[in-house]
Amino acid sequence: MIIEDVICPFCGSLCDDLTVEVKDNEIAGIENACKLGYSKMMGYEHDRYERPLKRVGDEFKEISYEESIEEAAKILYNAKSPLLYGWASTSCEAIERGIELAVKIGGVIDQTATVCHGPTVLGTQEVGKPSCTLGEVKNRADLVIYWGCNPFHAHPRHAERYSTFTKGYFTKKGRTDRKIVLVDIRKTDTEGICDRFIQIEPGSDYKILTSLIAIVMGKEESIPEEIGGVKKEELLGLAEEMKHANFGMVFFGMGVTMTGPKYKNIAALERLVRELNRHTKFSLMPMRGHYNVAGAGAVFTWRTGFPYAVDFRRGYPYYNPGETTSNDLLTREEVDAMLVVASDPGAHFVNSSVRRMAKIPLIVMDPHPSATSELADLIIPTAISGVEMDGTAYRMDDVPIRFKKLIDSKFKSDFEIIGDIIEKIEKRGVKD
């Protein structure tokens, strides 16, 4: 059976033009996916947990699915300060149930933006986000700036489908109708598809962005001859190109969100784009990594009013990044149990957090072994969303897209497992 228009469940580009061949309930071939998407979808069977596992001493013991749900419910119900973390690589439907679980157990629920584009959210809350869809970029953008990101490796088909090579309504010739600029601290492979590379000193994004704002506002006399390793002349040239584009676009990554003053970088970038809109049409967009991290932010926001790090321990949603964010809670040793869904914080969190995760009861819901599951006390295998389960995800431009189930699975989905845990918790009665 050939399935067309399949959505790739790997990165935030959510490419929707894959063709998948299914034979005897197995994926036999994939067309149009990049290496990242191909290896996730073709390798779906590789190295999977077959049954739920419970840690007994230094070893894992196989247990039944029912026992694993009972155990998970017991751990979360008995915890005073449980943390539910992950959610960026699962469906919006599962995320919504995760929030329901957090409310029932009076815990904190956080998602992976806390360690990637959380500062983007804060900048947006301060300044606002002048943005657009990837379709508008494809059809209109004649100046594209990649800032602190490396789509060549992290979003391999982004340039081909949306931002560089693709032909659109007003960009009929594709690549030759666009000017492409890379701003980064070092040359990456993305430089190979760009017309211009501007190398900046590490941590100097804020200085350069605020200098560009001054230039665009006509106050270039306030800028020194060199700033952040970039000559004033080069910044004047970039600002001119920006002002004279018909439709300019900035795609930015963690090279901006996680350096220097972090969210202030994003607020400055958003101010720059706002200033540019006095001269022409300009937009910006974060390069979201996990395929549904944008969906996690959307679901959190519509259900709780806050995009991540939402604390229900007081009985109502409370949000204060730096206080209720996962690494801060774990480092302060406030968390006394943790559920990790579709994520690997053991590989990405700071040492002090990982040390805390190793000490507390840790439940991991994942199809595959990971650095986090090595620390787990309970592992519940899951079906893979986008391969074995359908659902909804949000592309990096916040467009919701329905992804398909391609094959049947013997495992339950995140949505079903969270639902089973909630049912068990409800049987235990209302928590104090």
Q: Give one DSSP letter per residue of 25-81, joined into a string.
A: TEEEEEES--HHHHHHHHTTTTT---S-EEEETTEEEE--HHHHHHHHHHHHHH-SS
| CA 300/CA 293 separation, integer angstroms | 11
Closest contact distance (angstroms) between CB of 190 and ligand SF4 is 13
Smallest separation, CB 253 to ligand SF4 (Å): 14
- Residue 283 engages ligand SF4 in binding (rule: CB under 6 A): no
Measured on CA atoms in the order 232, 234, 239, 244, is the torsion positive or negative? positive
| Beta bridge partners of residue 216, listed in sequence order | none
| Binding segment (CB under 6 A) for ligand SF4, from list 5-13, 176-184, 216-224, 245-253 | 5-13
CB of 186 to ligand SF4, least distance (A): 22
- Identify which range of 34-42, 264-272, 303-311, 384-392 contacts ligand SF4 by CB under 6 A: 34-42
Q: Who's near 383: CB < 8 A, 6+ residues apart?
A: 367, 389, 409, 411, 412, 413, 414
116 binds ligand SF4 (CB under 6 A): no
197: three-class secondary structure by DSSP = strand
Closest separation in Å from C-beta 150 to ligand SF4: 13
Residues in contact with ligand SF4, shown as a per-residue x/- string from 36 to 65 under the rule CB under 6 A: xx----------------------------
Residues 222-261 close enough to bind ligand SF4 by CB under 6 A: none
What distances in angstroms separate CA 391 from CA 74, 137, 394, one per listed residue?
Answer: 28, 26, 10
Token couple for 248: 């300019």
Q: Which residues contact 101 (CB under 8 A, 6 or more apart)?
A: 76, 84, 107, 339, 418, 421, 422, 425
Three-state DSSP state, 145: strand
Q: Which range, of 33-41, 107-115, 205-213, 349-357, touches ligand SF4 by CB under 6 A? A: 33-41
Q: How far is the CB of 221 from ligand SF4 (least distance, A)?
A: 43
Whether residue 150 contacts residue 188, with contact meaning beta carbons closer than 8 Å, is answered with yes
Sole window of 12-20, 62-70, 118-126, 246-254 interacting with ligand SF4 (rule: CB under 6 A): 12-20
Question: Residue 133 is encoded by which pair of tokens?
Answer: 């869809």
53-56 and 59-62 beta bridge pairing? antiparallel
Q: Using the rule CB under 6 A, is 10 a contact of ligand SF4?
A: yes
For ligand SF4, the binding residue among 104, 157, 271, 412 (CB under 6 A) is 157
For ligand SF4, which residue of 20, 27, 30, 33 counts as binding (CB under 6 A)?
33
Q: Are 249 and 143 in contact (CB under 8 A)?
A: yes
Q: Which is nearer to ligand SF4, 10 or 252 (CB)?
A: 10
> Of the ranges 101-109, 153-161, 198-206, 319-327, which one interacts with ligand SF4 (CB under 6 A)?
153-161
| Residue 13 interacts with ligand SF4 (CB under 6 A): yes or no | yes
Indicate the residue type of 387: V
CB of 429 to ligand SF4, least distance (A): 44
Residue 285 is a binding residue for ligand SF4 (CB under 6 A): no
Q: With contacts defined by CB under 6 A, name the span among 70-78, 156-164, 271-279, 360-368 that binds ligand SF4.
A: 156-164
- Taking the complex as a whole, the smallest distance from the CB of residue 160 to ligand SF4 amounts, in Å, to 8
Contact status: 118 vs ligand SF4 (CB under 6 A)? no
Among 138, 155, 271, 303, binds ligand SF4 (CB under 6 A): 155
CB closer to ligand SF4 out of 138 and 157: 157
Which one among 6, 8, 299, 378 touches ligand SF4, defined by CB under 6 A?
Answer: 8
Judged by CB, which is closer to ligand SF4: 16, or 220?
16
15 binds ligand SF4 (CB under 6 A): yes
Do 391 and 385 form a contact (C-beta atoms < 8 A)? yes
Distance of CA 307 to the CA centre of its chain: 12
Does 137 interact with ligand SF4 (rule: CB under 6 A)? Answer: no
Contact by Cβ (8 Å): 248, 145: yes
- Total residues contacting ligand SF4 by CB under 6 A comes to 14
CA-based torsion, 93, 124, 161, 199: positive or negative: negative
Cβ pair 420, 397 in contact under 8 A: no
Enumerate binding residues for ligand SF4 (CB under 6 A). Answer: 8, 10-11, 13-15, 33-34, 36-37, 155-158
